[in-house]
Amino acid sequence: MKLPSPIHPWRLSIQRAVELQRELRAKVQIERPRKPWRYVAGLDVAYMPAGLAAVGAVVVWDRLEGRVIEEQVAVRRCHFPYVPGLLSFREAPALLAALRRVRRPPDVLLVDGHGVAHPRRFGVACHLGVWTGLPSVGCAKSVLVGCFDPPGPNRGDRSALMDGDERIGTVLRTRARVRPVIVSVGHRANLAAAEKLVLDCCRGFRLPEPARVAHQLVTRVAAGIPAKDWAWPPRGQNGGGVREADPQGTVAQ
């Protein structure tokens, strides 16, 4: 799918990255979904053994039929360190590269990480949402900032994630007796819709299906396993598979 023109470079100093977040957070829109979210894109990243390259994956899940309809992967060298609070500068390049390969434009991005449940209210889910203009939701496995009371033990039980007096997300139990996930708004969404999306996409596992499948995919690719099904459905003419030595820059700068 076509993506909007770049808003800013991804190779910046830590200081500039923080300034950029303070500047871009004003662009985050919190609203009730304008249309039903049928195609949900799960996004996740894994790192190559040496940790110098990131593998990004986008798995499109058809919420209506309850099945995966597309999977795309992209590998990019890392140019930004892991700094809590600045995750998007490290992972977004690989995720956007994979997103560009997607044929079916998703209705919403379900990102492995936080949305506004972030120190500056601009986690990776917000960044990807603002960058693409698409609605987005953050679903993280642990807290970055904020406090909460443990939710009940059953699937669907939840509690508020608070940062002082501000509500920034929801701690949601997606499976009985399993550690809850943290859900927050990314862009063009509201917390109620975000929570419903995550719970609806969970099929017996802790993580929502799109994100869970994306995680399995990047983990396999980063480990150097299969090399053919990097793209599904297959793209015409050698399009989505691996080409030896990366002629077209699969592993580009």
Partner DNA sequence: GCGACAG
Partner DNA sequence: ATCTTGTCGC
> Which one of residues 124, 194, 202, 231 is an interface residue with DNA (CB under 7 A)?
124
Distance CA 170, CA 191 (A): 8
CB of 46 to DNA, least distance (A): 4
CB of 239 to DNA, least distance (A): 26
CB of 127 to DNA, least distance (A): 8
Q: Does 129 bind DNA (CB under 7 A)?
A: no
**Region 222-251 residues binding DNA, contact defined as CB under 7 A:** 222
CB of 146 to DNA, least distance (A): 10
> Which one of residues 40, 73, 75, 87 is an interface residue with DNA (CB under 7 A)?
87
Non-local CB neighbours of 112 within 8 Å, separated by 6+ positions = 42, 43, 44, 45, 139, 140, 141, 211, 214, 215
Q: Does 112 bind DNA (CB under 7 A)?
A: yes
Q: Give the residue with the Cβ less far from DNA, 102 or 125.
A: 125
Q: Does 86 bind DNA (CB under 7 A)?
A: yes
Long-range contacts of 21-27 (CB under 8 A, 24+ apart): 21/86, 21/120, 21/122, 21/127, 22/120, 22/122, 24/122, 24/126, 24/127, 24/130, 25/120, 25/121, 25/122, 25/126, 27/130
Non-local CB neighbours of 248 within 8 Å, separated by 6+ positions = none
Q: Does 84 bind DNA (CB under 7 A)?
A: yes
> In a 3-state reduction of DSSP, which class is residue 92?
helix
Enumerate binding residues for DNA (CB under 7 A).
44-47, 49, 51, 82, 84-88, 112-114, 118, 123-125, 138, 140-144, 219, 222
